[in-house]
Amino acid sequence: MQMEVHSLDNLNLEAPPGKRLVVLGDPIAHSLSPAMHNAALKEMAADYPELEEWRYEAVHVPATELGRALEVLKNAGVVGINLTIPHKVDVLGIISEVDPLSRSMGAVNTLISTPAGYRGTNTDGFGIIRAVEESFQGSPAGEDVWLFGAGGAARGIIVACLEQGAARLTVVNRSPERLYVFKQALESQSLSGLDRVRFRESSGIEDDAGDSALLINATSLGLKETDANPIPLSFLGRNRAVYDTTYGALNQLARDCGTMGIPYADGLSMLIWQGVRSLEIWTNKTVPAEAMRAAALEELRKRKSNG
């Protein structure tokens, strides 16, 4: 069973009279965000009756339609928008106002309505830091961080880890071309701390990670149980921790960590905490993270039982 997914043409922008929040993506049917946000809004409405008519919906928007989508949603009074693949980077060429940290990340996942249009920010960095704190009772500060993957998710993570004071960051990717583009993009932002960042190709990579290194999977490998482990087994030392940004599947990386006794956490906590931060920005109120977590877990359970 999948949640209801709207298009710009079938989304009823006239009702209800309450505030509207949406997530835009292509694909979008897999998103847990509507379940999470609507559960949080329902709980919050008990203390804040003005939130009773707020609702959050998923809208399928292809990359070529993003500009039109933002115009339509702004005219309809939509106060908050989340962005997922493929819009996080493309939106930078459409909106004019982006906070400096998000600009340095080169990606935006949250839009806030202003009189002049939508203002962009990124809550993914907040999400990864809180997720690591929650999962491993520590932070990237002073740590040796290895980031596997050089896509959109990696941008927010690397900037957040640098902001937290990671001692060293190593970005690992299979494609040398994509690794080069990623490196150029970071250097173009004049980020503080780039002297602590190294770039390495996966092929023949030397393991010189510290004994207590934090390893982060920021590739798409892991969304399916059959996906290969993107992190070489030689890196899975017992004192190292693995944070996997994918979630919803007992993938090979999770199985290998379990067999070897490696501390492991999947990406659900990052999804929850970035969602908490987005909803805080839109409502200016405290958001119940546990309501989001319970709703996300229940939605995953339903999908597995029906799939």
Asked if 217 contacts 243 with a C-beta cutoff of 8 angstroms, the reply is: yes
Q: Of 298, 275, 285, whose CA–CA distance to 56 is shortest?
A: 275
Q: In what order do the strands lie in the sheet with 241-244?
A: 197-201, 168-173, 144-148, 214-217, 241-244, 264-265
Residue 19 annotated to the active site: no
**Alpha-carbon distance 229 to 223, whole Å?**
11
Say which residue the tokens 């359970």 belong to.
301
Residues 6+ apart with CB under 8 A from 271: 32, 33, 36, 127, 247, 296
DSSP output for 61-106: --GGGHHHHHHHHHHTT--EEEE-TTHHHHGGGT-SEE-HHHHHHT
169 beta partners: 145, 197
Q: Provide the strand spans (E) within 153-294.
A: 168-173, 197-201, 214-217, 241-244, 264-265
| Percent of the chain as helix, strand, coil, to the nearest 5 | 40, 20, 40
Chain Cα centroid distance, residue 183? 20
Q: Among 42, 88, 285, 302, which one carries the catalytic annotation? A: 88
Q: Which residues are catalytic?
A: 88
